[in-house]
Chain A
Amino acid sequence: MTNKRIDEPTGTEFVGHEWDGIEELNTPLPRWWLYTFYATIIFAIVYVVLYPAWPMIDRATAGTLGWSSRGDLAAEMRAADAARAGVVAKIAATPIEQLPSDPQLMQAAVAGGAAAFKVNCVQCHGAGAAGSPGYPNLNDDDWLWGGTLTQIEYTLTHGIRWDAAAETRSNFMPAFQGSFDAGQVSALTGHVLSLSGKAKPNATGAQMFADNCAACHGSGGEGLPAMGGPALNDAIWLYGGSAADIGKQILAPRHGVMPAWQGRLDPVTIKMLAAYVHSRGGGQDPAPAAPATQAPQIAAK
């Protein structure tokens, strides 16, 4: 700064930087601005003392207030739990079949169930609960083990073919590999398809069905929800509805497994999950009035 140059109109010193003829002036700050700057320095020092600041080897300095963002999160979650506690307790105290009579409580249960579903159920049943081949769709009106709130809750609690649960639901479709030859399988498959109008009836298949299948699937293939016998006269097929798929299932049936959630989830969560699944559009009322015949009537209106 030996040769100071002064800008004539303002009386301010040049810094010495120039861009395309525009020069920078060393205009002094107003004093209040300087003090503001000092205030920020003091603020920073106070902050470093009170809050986590300096990064060390494995963590930052703790700060005298003991604040942490993880602690904040935990406090917020505790607060949210506390805010929900009343509703959760009310859901716990309400028998599941009485939930729908309190629409607000039902709504809360469905919302809680939706959240739990995303964590525990989507892996098999899909994000939209639409399932996939081998994993049941929970939106439709076809229920293997019953679609009332109570039945859904039971299935959730005890699982299906879940050996570790004493009261688990279980059934077994025998494999007919070796019992039927190709022609027999074809006849039986044709009869099964004819139950939903997709093939012509044949007497051989009908006889085989009555002998081997009707005990579990019903004489008309209408299913037996009490023992998990799937309906064969409808449009919904867990393992596929083509003749080949059905034939395969007759010879070497697959059996799905649903875990028992008792012990893994608390009863309130299971109750809320049941409410959510029931609300997906296919839930049945406690005394289903022959739902299979209902829809066509309406459709014909």
Chain B
Amino acid sequence: MAQADELDRPAPQAQQPKRDWAGALAAEGAKAPAPAPEESAGFMGSALYEAGRTVHNKRIDGPFRRFKWAIMAITLTIYYATPWIRWDRGPYAPDQAVLVDLANRRFYMFDIEIWPHEFYFVAGLLIMAGIGLFLVTSAVGRAWCGYACPQTVWTDLFQHVDRFFDGDRNARARLDKAPWGVSKTTRRLAKWAVYLAIAFWTGGAWIMYFADAPTLTWDFWHGTANPVAYATVAVLTGTTFWLGGFMREQVCIYMCPWPRIQTAMLDEKSLIVTYKDWRGEQRGSLKKAAKNPDAYGDCIDCQLCVAVCPTGVDIREGQQIGCITCGLCIDACDRVMKETGRARGLIDYATLEQCDAERAGAPARPAWKALLRPRVFVYFGVWAAIGAGLLFALGTRTHTDLTVAPDRNPPFMLLKDGSVRNAYTLRLRNMEARPRDMVVALEGLPKGAVMWTDAVSLENAAQSQTVTVDANATKVLRVYVMLPPDVEADDEDDGLPFTFRLTAQDESDSAQTTFAMPEDD
């Protein structure tokens, strides 16, 4: 169905002067590249709104395009395939490699299992993600926007669907303007059906992260899955269909806060995609330049950089919020420069500082050298330190945990024979995927101190108690501790400090608490 693409034809002769590189010289391409209001409703003398416009970006090949293909393949594969990876954890835990088990409050990621009380790991990852964005921005500018942002990846995917059904830029623009006939309607319905299929697959993949994927898939198609699953799929299908299929660059330009944040983080040392105007201006066609070589720069004003842009901006106007720095215009311009026999890099990744230097006559510098600046290293240092901290915490964490909460009301209980009893609520965590026997013992209380639980009656009170904690579970244990009469605390206000020690095979944990005593009368 794809229309022939001009660029797929054999390379034209360099001197072919009237080549319409981008279709921009065609009648329908005459619209201004800047978002000038084409159609405005007057309201008190000013434009109320700006008419919608569709970006029909032209196909281009080159290193950046191939890089984008690779990133798209990797990110989409990770997204769609990850929930289906199996990971054996034994009989007491799910066998899905990556699982956010909200119902049981567990987060599984391969060999790592995160409990709610360890949420600082997730917080740490989020902090790393935030600093990682600072790091990437200070090193390579808006690379996130250009390559890895889901909105960019899915927009790219949907634009390729457009290209498959309706052909390249010119054909798509023509079809947009064509009246609604059978052919156009059929094409549009087919295309939207593919949009919908992709969107549905995207929404469907999302829920697989929150439940066992094969089971959920079976349930989903048999109508027995949780209503939340259907609602989530419906919402995500709708948003993917709408944001990827129709809103596209409008999301980046109007909705997303990230371009604004990034603009604030960029400085003259940041890598941006830039048009080297001192080299390109005065723009002019090859024909004009041939007649009067001294008056014209390298830019032949072919508009190909505008035509390939997925957000429809003209990079030659300089930095702007719509530029996601995907580098496709670099691919386009390098190609034109090669075919016209000029040096590549009229549009290129460069820093504003480097641009000023080059304008003053300095030689071009490889873009990667822009990475070597203190800010990048500081961000990297902070980022790596947090990562190392998390890894250390992960490597040294134990799979047992004990917390203790003494009863505060009443703090102590005087018994008939003058013994004093305190009650404590203990939480015993068994973070291993098997049931374990754990021993809770008293440490540091005077002789005669005993403990018992609701399950173990007073007759069997002793210095320690053994309890079985289920696999992957927290056992809440109410524990009574009793001191015989006539034990004196050094200071009744503070009570007797002591320790509960939890031992499970080779692991142990302890929790400090206090035994409250009555005041002497």
Contact = CB atoms under 8 A, between A and B. Distances in A.
Interface string A273-301: 00000010110000000011011101111
A301 B407 CA distance: 25
A28 B521 contact: no
Given A13-B46, A139-B410, A300 B416 contact: no
A205 B48 CA distance: 102
Contact of A281 (B423, B448, B462): B423
B521 A242 contact: yes
A300 B37 contact: no
17 contacts: A4-B45, A13-B47, A28-B40, A30-B250, A32-B52, A128-B409, A130-B413, A137-B413, A139-B410, A140-B416, A140-B421, A231-B416, A234-B415, A234-B418, A236-B416, A295-B419, A300-B484
Interface centre among B418, B423, B450 (most CB of A within 10 A): B418
A131 to B, nearest CB: 9
A293 B338 CA distance: 103
A29 B49 contact: yes
A140 B417 contact: no
Interface string B234-255: 0000000000000100100010
* 10 cross-chain pairs, A with B, having the tightest CB-CB distances, nearest first: A299-B484, A128-B409, A130-B410, A234-B416, A235-B418, A28-B50, A28-B47, A34-B49, A1-B45, A29-B49
A295 B417 contact: yes
B458 interface: yes
Nearest to B461: A298
A295 B481 CA distance: 12
A298 B52 contact: no
A231 B410 CA distance: 22
A301 B460 CA distance: 11
Interface residues of B, number: 43
Q: Is the interface of A mostly helix, strand, loop or mixed?
A: loop
Given A1-B46, A301-B450, A292 B416 contact: yes
Contacts of B461: 298
Contacts of B409: 126-128, 130
Contacts of B482: 295, 298-299
Interface size class on chain A is 35 or more
B407 A128 contact: yes
Interface of A: 1, 4, 9-11, 13, 26, 28-34, 126-130, 137, 139-142, 196, 231, 234-236, 241-242, 279, 281-282, 291-292, 294-296, 298-301
B410 A137 contact: yes
A128 B406 CA distance: 13
A295 B40 CA distance: 91
Given A140-B415, A231-B416, A294-B459, A128 B410 contact: yes
Contacts of A281: 413, 421, 423, 480
Interface in B439-479: 448, 450, 454, 458-459, 461-462
Contact of B46 (A26, A137, A279): A26
B417 A31 contact: no
Given A140-B413, A242-B521, A298 B450 contact: yes
A235 B521 CA distance: 12
A295 to B, nearest CB: 5
Interface string B479-490: 010111100000
B231 interface: no
